[in-house]
Amino acid sequence: GAVVSQHPSWVICKSGTSVKIECRSLDFQATTMFWYRQFPKQSLMLMATSNEGSKATYEQGVEKDKFLINHASLTLSTLTVTSAHPEDSSFYICSASSGIIGRGDTQYFGPGTRLTVL
Amino acid sequence: DAKTTQPPSMDCAEGRAANLPCNHSTISGNEYVYWYRQIHSQGPQYIIHGLKNNETNEMASLIITEDRKSSTLILPHATLRDTAVYYCIVRVVQDDKIIFGKGTRLHILP
């Protein structure tokens, strides 16, 4: 089946530093990838939609200069949290859309990355 | 806006059928009902989806009312591994972005 990986699975960083999270579709090409954030005991919140080769579309209230998204290839999207602060500590999850009709659902989720900012 | 309403939590005995309800009274004619689940500290997992007919796969069954204003996800023989948060979502097409609501936290009791 379609597999999406994320790296790293967890990261701890100091306040003020930048952290990059990778999302890869391992066995399919993903024209669209989505980034979510989830705080403890809350639901997933969509942050942005990225399409390969074009700028990401951010949801209302998400700072595009703080959360940099790059979708440089059909199998890789990266989320960079710039100048991270403790309030950015969260569980970040990506999903990738295969666009292949007939598989039930075309979106596959990664395992998530837990970010802790000290 | 998630467009769906689910009970915050439910309990089910292991081995019994778990029936998870969802209200989507404002659903449009071209919107599908999707169900996902999220086991603690993992990414969401697709379960099933449907438009107006009942659907069944190896994981679950989806029963959609005739007026499409509500649906029920059925896990026929719940196991402890089915303990998770279950999300009912409506969306237009498979590639449309997914907006998660609060979901139902299902506890499977031994």
Is the predicted pLDDT of residue B2 greater than 80, yes or no? no
Question: Is the Cβ pair B100, A110 closer than 8 Å?
Answer: no
Q: What's the pLDDT at B93?
A: 67
Contacting residues for A24 by C-beta, under 8 A, at least 6 apart: A4, A5, A6, A7, A75, A76
B44 part of contact set with chain A, CB < 8 Å: yes
Is the predicted pLDDT of residue B95 greater than 70, yes or no? no
What is the CA B59 to chain-centroid distance, rounded? 11
Q: What's the pLDDT at B98?
A: 85
B87 part of contact set with chain A, CB < 8 Å: yes
Question: Is the Cβ pair B44, A109 closer than 8 Å?
Answer: yes
Question: Is the Cβ pair A4, B43 closer than 8 Å?
Answer: yes
8 Å CB contact between B33 and B22: yes
Sign (positive/negative) of CA torsion B92, B97, B101, B106?
positive
Mean pLDDT by runs of 10 across the 118 residues of chain A is 91 97 92 93 93 88 95 92 96 85 70 97
Q: What's the pLDDT at A54?
A: 83
Among the listed residues A106, A27, A78, A75, the one whose alpha carbon sits nearest the alpha carbon of residue B96: A106
The nearest CA of chain B is from the CA of A97 a distance in Å of 6
